[in-house]
Amino acid sequence: MKAKYIVRFLGIIIVILFFALYFGQYTGYYNISNERKTTLTKEAIERFERDVSDGKEIIAGNYLTKEKNYNNSLSKMGLGISRLIGEGFDKMINTIFKEVEKAIRN
């Protein structure tokens, strides 16, 4: 009886993790965050155009916004846990598919 509940609980956890990862990728969260890193602000473009017209020396770093470093022990721990969950999820899915493949072949 307990084994049935444990299997059901793990199955629900796997489904929830799958949907969380799927929707994170589907909504383009990672793509949007990467685009923000490379997009110049309107003000930076105007400064760049002014500097070009004034004949000043152009250094790309002057027009890119400096990102704050939010790395701390808590965020590093969160990233580690996230990686661990991702790797565990990957191993579980691979194991499930291998078992299904064995069942189909037999």
Residue-wise pLDDT tens digits, 43-85: 788 888 888 899 888 887 777 767 666 677 877 887 788 888 8
- Check residue 67 and give its pLDDT: 67
**What are the φ and ψ backbone dihedral angles of 27, each rounded to 5 degrees?**
-75, -5
Domain ranges of the chain: 69-106
Cα angle value 11/76/80 (rounded, 5°): 30
Query: Could you tell me which residue, 30 or 46, shows the higher pLDDT?
Result: 46
In this predicted structure, what is the pLDDT of residue 18?
84
Q: Each residue of 82-100: b (16+ CB within 10 Å) or e?
A: eeeeeeebeeeeeeeeeee
The SS3 call for residue 29 is helix
Q: State residue 39's pLDDT score.
A: 65
pLDDT at 40: 61
Spell out the residues 6+ positions from residue 59 whose beta carbon is closer than 8 angstroms to its own: none
**How many beta carbons lie within 10 A of that of residue 14, not counting itself?**
15
